[in-house]
Structure 1
Amino acid sequence: MASSPIDLSLALVTEAPDAADWLVVLPVALCIATGALMTMLRGRPSLQGWLAVLALGVLVMLNIGLVFHIGASGPVTMMVGRWLPPFGIAFTADMTGALFSLSASVVAFACALHSLGDISETGRRHGFYPFLLLLMAGVSGAFLTGDIFNLYVWFEVLLISSFGLLVIGSEHRQIDGAVKYGFLNLVATTLFLIATGYLYGIFGTLNMADIARKAGTLPDSAPLMTLVALYLFAFAMKAAAFPVNFWLPASYHTPRIVVSALFAGLLTKVGVYALLRIGVMLFPTEREALSTVIAVVAGFTMITGALGALAQADMRRLLGYLVVSGIGAMLAGLALGGADAVSGAIVYGVHSMLVMSALYLAIGLAGRAAGTFSIGGAGGLWQRELTLSALTLVLFFSVSGLPPFSGFWPKLMLVKAALAQGAGWLAAALLVSGFLTTIAVGRLFLIAYWRPAPLASSAGAERDPSSGGRKRGSAASLLPVFALMLASIGIGLYPEPLIAAATTAAEGLVSPLAYVQSVFGTEATP
C-alpha cells in the first residue's frame, strides 16, 4: 500500500531564506562560536584579545548590514528548525532591535580595543574574552529574538557572563559588588520568568508577533494589567529605575573599568529595550493605563540619579548615578508612548550607550593618571593629560545634553513630546535633571582636572589597584575614547539619519503590522 505524501508546507518553512536574512542570526552565532574558540585557546591568552577585536569588528559590520537591510525591506524573521510560527522559535529583527544591536556592538568593539592594554594575562586566563563574547551573544540575542521565553533565555546568558566579568580578579570590593548586583538581578529574573509563565497561560503562545495580534481580541476578564505590571517591575529592576536602582551605583564601580564601561553601555539598555517592546508594541492599552505611574518613576529616576551624582566623591560612583539618570529619560519616552516620544527614547538609548561607555573608559584613564578615583584626591589632569581632558570635557557636555553633541537631540525630542501631551512637569524634570547633571560633571572637571594637583602627602585617596601608581595613558588606549567621542559629535552635528531610523523604529513599535507580517506573512493583521 503506497503511503500518502506529506505536505511539509503545513508545518515547516519550505523555501530557502534570502541570503541577507541570515543577518538576523549571524550576530548571535558569531559571538557563541568565537567565545567557544577562545575557550579552547585559553592556553594562549595572547591571541584572545586580537581574536575578540576581530570578531567584534565583524559583528559591527553584520549589524550595519542588518540596519540597511531592514531599512530597505522592513522587519526580518528567521524560524529556528524551519518550524512555522508560532510553534517554532523566531528571530525577528525590526529597526528598534537592529539599532540597539548595532550600538551595542560598537561599544563592545571599543571596549575590546581598550582591553588590550587593560586586561592582564591573568585576567585573560580567567576568561575575560570568552565572557565578553558570551555577553555579546546574550545582548544580541535579546535585541533580535522574536520570542518572549527566549528573551528570558538571552537575559540569563548575559547575566551569567556579566557575573564572570564582574568577579575577575576576586578582590573584596568586586565580590561585594557582585553580591548586590546578583541578588537584585536574580529577583528581577525570577519575576520575569513568573510573568512569562503567566503570559503563556493567558495567550497559549510566546511568539511576540502572535501576542501582538491577539492582545486586542482577549476578553476584558483577561488579567493583562497584572501581567504587564509584573513585566514592568521586573524590567525596571534590570534597568535600574527608581526605587530599585541602588544596586547599580553600588556595583558598577567595583570591576575593572573596561567591564564597568561595558555594563554602563549595554546591560541597563537591554532592560529599557524590553520595556519598550512589552509596553509599546505588545500591550499599549495597559501601558497607557499605567502611564502616570511610569512617568512618576521616570521623573524620580532622573532626579535622584542627578542628585546622587552631585553627592559623590568617587568618579566611578558619579558615573553610575549618571547611568541611572539616563534610564529615567528613556522611561519618560515609554510613559508618553507616542511615536515621537518613543523615537526620542530610542535616540537617547543609542546616545547613552556610546557616551556612558566612553566616559567610563575616559575616567579609567584619568584615575590611572592621577593614581586615584577620588575627586578630591585628583587634580592637575588638564596640565598632565591635555588630550584626555579635552576628550572628557566633550563627553561631559554630551551627557549633560548640551548642543551640539548627541545628548541634546533626544532631550529636545522628549521635552517636545512631553509638552505636546500636556506633561509639562515631566518636561521640567528632564530639564532639571540635565541642569543638575551639568553641575555634577562641571564640579568633577573643575576639581579633578582644572584644579592644581594636591600634594602627594595629602592625597590620602584610594589608589587604582590596576595602575601600579600614576601612569600616563597611551595613544592606543585613547583611541576608543576618541572614536566614541567622534560618534557623539557626529550625531550632534548631523542627527537626521539616526532620528529618521529611530522614527521608523518607533512607528514599528506603535503600529506593529510590518513586524507581524514578517512572521506570519502579508495576510496577517495585528
Structure 2
Amino acid sequence: MIDTAALWSVQTLVPLPVLLPLFAAGLTLALHRYANVQRVISVTALSVTTASSAGLMAAADNGPVVVDVGGWAAPVGIALVADRLSALMLTVSGVMLLCVLLYSLGQGIPEGEDPREGGRFGGTIPVAIFHPTYLVLAAGVANAFLTGDLFNLYVGFEILLAASAVLLTLGGTAERVRAGSVYIVVTLMSSLLFLTAIALIYAATGTVNMAQLAERLPDIDPTVRLALQALLLLAFAIKAAIFPLAAWLPDSYPTAPAPVTAVFAGLLTKVGVYSILRTQTLLFPDDDAVDRVLMALALATMLVGILGAVAQNDVKRLLSFTLVSHIGYMIFGVALASEAGTAAAIFYVVHHISVQTALFLVVGLVEWRGGSTSLDRLGGLARLAPVLAVLFFVPAMNLAGIPPFSGFLGKVGLITEGVRDGSGLAWALVVGSVVTSLLTLYAVVKAWNKAFWQEAPSGVARDLALPRSLVLPAGALVAFGLALTVVAGPLYGYAERAARTSMDGFTYVNAVYPGGSERGTGESVEVSEDEGQP
C-alpha cells in the first residue's frame, strides 16, 4: 500500500523548482526599487528550490514521481516527471545556480558593476533586470529537466533563450550585442528545427507525450522514424554545441560577465545533452546506425574542441573550447547505448557542471585581481593571491582528469565501456579520450603557469584585493566539485540506477501512462521500480 499523505507531500515538490523561481521573478520585478529585498527573495527562492530538488532526488530513488499539470492526465495534459535522472540534474543545477547568484551579488552585477570595464558596465543597468531574468532562467532549466512532454520541452528551451539573451547582452556594449546576436540567431535556428520535428512527430504519431511516444514510435515506418530522430538530434546538437555545430559558443560565452558565462558554460549546454540522452534512451533505443554517427561526432567534438583550446591565449576562450571538447565525452557515453556507458555519461555531466562552472567563477576572480583574462597580461598571481592559485588549480586538475578526482573516475568509466564495446569507433574514441585528456592537462597547466607562475608583465596594476563575497561562492563550488570525488561511490551508484531506469523505458512509461487510455483523470502516481506498478 502507498502512504497517500507521504506521496502527496513528495508530489508537491515536483512543480516547485519551476513555480517558485517564476513567482520570485515576478516579486523581484515588482519590487525593483528595493535592491536588498530583491537579493533576499532571489537567494531564498533558489535555496528552497535546491533543497526541494535534493528531496526529489531522494524520493525518485524509489521510483519516478509524476504530477499531471492542472489535473489533466497524460496524454491530454502535461506531465512533470521527477525520475532519478531529472532529479539528479535538478539538484546539481540548483547548487550551481545558487553559488553563481551569490557570486554575482558579490561582484555587483545587479547594480551594473563589472571590473573588466573600469568598474561599470558602460552604462547604468536597472537593478530590476538581473534578478527576474536569472530566476526565469532557473525556471526554464527546471522545466526542461522535469517535463514529460516534447512541446513543453520546447517551451523550456524558449524560456532559456529569452532569459539567456538578456543576460548575455547585459550592459549593451558593442561586443556583447554582437555576441548576443550570434547566440540568438543560432538558438532560434535550433528552436525552429525542434518545433518542426515536434510537428512532424505529432503528425506521425498523434501525440507529443514522451511516454506515449515510446510506445508508438516503434510502430511507424522505420525511414520516417529515422528522419524524426535525425531532426531532433540536429536541434539538440546545436544547443549542446556538438561539432560541427559548436562554432558559435567560443565567440558568444567569453564576452559576458563572469557569473553569466559560468551559468552558460556549466549548465545550458547540458540541457541539450540531457535532451539527447532522454530522447535516445526513451524514444529511439537500439539504433546502431545513429549510435555510430554519434560516436564519430563525439570524437570530432573532443579533438576539434581541445585543439582550439590549446591554441588560445585568453583564459575565457580557452575554457570555452575545453567546454566544447568535453561535451564529446558525454556524447561518447550516450552513443555506447549501454547501461554502463549511460551511467558514465550521467556521472560525467554532473562532474562537468560543477567543475566548469567553478573554473569560470575563478577566472572571474583572476580578471578582478589581474585586470585581464589575456595570458600575456597576467603573471605572478601565485605570490600575490595564493588562495586564488589553489582555487584555479584544483578544478583545473579535475577537468584534466587527474586521479583521484571525479573527472578521472568519469573518464575511466567511459573508457572501460568503450573497450568493452570493442568496435573500431569505440576504440577510436578510447584513444581520442586519452589524447583529449592529455591536451586538456597541457592547456590548463599552460594557463596556470602564465597566470600564476611567470613574472608579471611590467606596468600592469594589481591593487584590487579579492573580496570574500566573491571568494566564498567560488570556493564553495570548488569544494562541491571535490565533494563529488569524496562521494563518488554512492553518486556513481545513483547514476547507474538512473541509467538502468532510463534504458529500460518501462519504468518511465508506466509511471506517466499506466494502463494507457484507461488511466483516470487527475491521477498522480509514484511507481516502485521493483514492483513496476503504481
Which category describes the TM-score, using the shorter chain as reference length?
A: over 0.9
Which amino acid in structure 2 is aligned with residue 378 of structure 1?
A: L
Alignment partner, residue 431 of structure 1: 434
Distance 1:110 1:92, change over 3 A: same
CA distance in 1 between partners of 2:163 and 2:357 (Å): 18
Q: Does 1:112 align with 2:101?
A: yes
* Post-superposition offset of 1:219: 4.0
Identity rate of aligned residues, in percent?
38
CA distance in 1 between partners of 2:200 and 2:348 (Å): 32
Distance 1:500 1:315, change over 3 A: same
Which has the bigger relative contact order, CA under 8 A and spacing at least 6? 2
Question: 1:309–1:317: 8 Å Cα contact kept in structure 2?
Answer: yes
Alignment partner, residue 68 of structure 1: 58
Question: 2:110–2:130: 8 Å Cα contact kept in structure 1?
Answer: no
Distance 1:480 1:210, change over 3 A: same
Q: 2:458 is matched with which residue: 455, 459, 465?
A: 455
Unaligned 5+ runs, structure 1? 1-13, 464-468
Number of equivalent positions = 500
* Post-superposition offset of 1:285: 3.2
Question: 1:403–1:492: 8 Å Cα contact kept in structure 2?
Answer: no
CA distance in 1 between partners of 2:110 and 2:512 (Å): 46
Q: Does 1:37 align with 2:3?
A: no
Q: Does 1:127 align with 2:129?
A: yes
Within-5 A mapping of 1:231-380: 231-286=232-287, 288-380=288-380
Alignment partner, residue 28 of structure 1: 18
CA distance in 2 between partners of 1:519 and 1:128 (Å): 36
SS at match of 1:403: coil
Alignment partner, residue 465 of structure 2: 472
Alignment partner, residue 100 of structure 1: 89
Alignment partner, residue 512 of structure 1: 505
CA distance in 2 between partners of 1:253 and 1:339 (Å): 36
Question: 2:204–2:220: 8 Å Cα contact kept in structure 1?
Answer: no
Q: Does 1:406 align with 2:406?
A: yes
* Post-superposition offset of 1:411: 0.6
CA distance in 2 between partners of 1:188 and 1:345 (Å): 23
* Post-superposition offset of 1:124: 5.4
Distance 1:117 1:97, change over 3 A: same
Q: Does 1:440 align with 2:429?
A: no
* Post-superposition offset of 1:424: 1.2
Q: Does 1:484 align with 2:453?
A: no
CA distance in 2 between partners of 1:384 and 1:16 (Å): 54
Question: 1:128–1:165: 8 Å Cα contact kept in structure 2?
Answer: yes
* Post-superposition offset of 1:388: 1.0
CA distance in 2 between partners of 1:515 and 1:405 (Å): 32
User: Could you list the per-position Cα deviations for residues 212-270 of structure 1 after superposition, in whole angstroms to 9, with x for gaps in the alignment?
Assistant: 12223x14456000000001111000001100101110010011110000111110000
Unaligned 5+ runs, structure 2? 113-124, 520-531
User: Could you list the per-position Cα deviations for residues 24-53 of structure 1 after superposition, in whole angstroms to 9, with x for gaps in the alignment?
Assistant: 111101010001100101111232223211
SS at match of 2:208: coil
Question: What is the TM-score normalised by the length of structure 1?
Answer: 0.92
SS at match of 2:254: coil
Question: 2:110–2:131: 8 Å Cα contact kept in structure 1?
Answer: no
User: Could you list the per-position Cα deviations for residues 321-364 of structure 1 after superposition, in whole angstroms to 9, with x for gaps in the alignment?
Assistant: 11111111101011111010111111111111111110000001
* Post-superposition offset of 1:493: 3.1
Alignment partner, residue 172 of structure 2: 170
* Post-superposition offset of 1:210: 0.7
Alignment partner, residue 6 of structure 1: none
Distance 1:338 1:221, change over 3 A: closer
Which amino acid in structure 2 is aligned with residue 248 of structure 1?
A: L
Q: 2:486 is matched with which residue: 493, 515, 518?
A: 493
Question: 2:89–2:350: 8 Å Cα contact kept in structure 1?
Answer: yes
Alignment partner, residue 19 of structure 1: 9
Alignment partner, residue 153 of structure 1: 155
Distance 1:381 1:65, change over 3 A: same
* Post-superposition offset of 1:489: 1.6
CA distance in 1 between partners of 2:452 and 2:5 (Å): 61
Question: 2:29–2:128: 8 Å Cα contact kept in structure 1?
Answer: no
SS at match of 2:377: coil
Question: 1:199–1:206: 8 Å Cα contact kept in structure 2?
Answer: yes
Question: 1:304–1:325: 8 Å Cα contact kept in structure 2?
Answer: yes
Distance 1:15 1:399, change over 3 A: closer
* Post-superposition offset of 1:521: 2.6
SS at match of 2:379: coil
CA distance in 1 between partners of 2:489 and 2:203 (Å): 43
SS at match of 2:449: helix
Which amino acid in structure 2 is aligned with residue 451 of structure 1?
A: Q
Q: 1:204 is matched with which residue: 186, 203, 206?
A: 206
Which amino acid in structure 2 is aligned with residue 516 of structure 1?
A: V
CA distance in 1 between partners of 2:191 and 2:110 (Å): 32
CA distance in 2 between partners of 1:84 and 1:121 (Å): 44
CA distance in 2 between partners of 1:316 and 1:153 (Å): 30
Which amino acid in structure 1 is aligned with residue 362 of structure 2?
A: A
Alignment partner, residue 7 of structure 1: none
Alignment partner, residue 140 of structure 1: 142
Alignment partner, residue 524 of structure 2: none
Alignment partner, residue 46 of structure 1: 36
Question: 1:344–1:410: 8 Å Cα contact kept in structure 2?
Answer: yes
CA distance in 1 between partners of 2:79 and 2:147 (Å): 6
Distance 1:120 1:85, change over 3 A: closer
Question: 2:28–2:128: 8 Å Cα contact kept in structure 1?
Answer: no
CA distance in 2 between partners of 1:65 and 1:470 (Å): 44
SS at match of 1:285: coil
Question: What is the TM-score normalised by the length of structure 2?
Answer: 0.91
Question: 1:408–1:492: 8 Å Cα contact kept in structure 2?
Answer: no
Which amino acid in structure 1 is aligned with residue 445 of structure 2?
A: G
Distance 1:59 1:185, change over 3 A: same
User: Could you list the per-position Cα deviations for residues 397-428 of structure 1 after superposition, in whole angstroms to 9, with x for gaps in the alignment?
Assistant: 00101112121111111001111001211111
Question: 2:201–2:208: 8 Å Cα contact kept in structure 1?
Answer: yes
Which amino acid in structure 1 is aligned with residue 103 of structure 2?
A: H
CA distance in 1 between partners of 2:463 and 2:169 (Å): 24
Once superposed, what is the RMSD of the aligned Cα atoms? 1.9
CA distance in 2 between partners of 1:154 and 1:232 (Å): 17
Question: 2:286–2:337: 8 Å Cα contact kept in structure 1?
Answer: no
Range with greater deviation from structure 2 (253-262 or 81-90): 81-90
Alignment partner, residue 48 of structure 2: 58
Question: 1:32–1:137: 8 Å Cα contact kept in structure 2?
Answer: yes
* Post-superposition offset of 1:522: 6.8
Range with greater deviation from structure 2 (493-502 or 441-450): 493-502
Question: 1:228–1:283: 8 Å Cα contact kept in structure 2?
Answer: yes
CA distance in 1 between partners of 2:463 and 2:147 (Å): 45
* Post-superposition offset of 1:494: 3.0
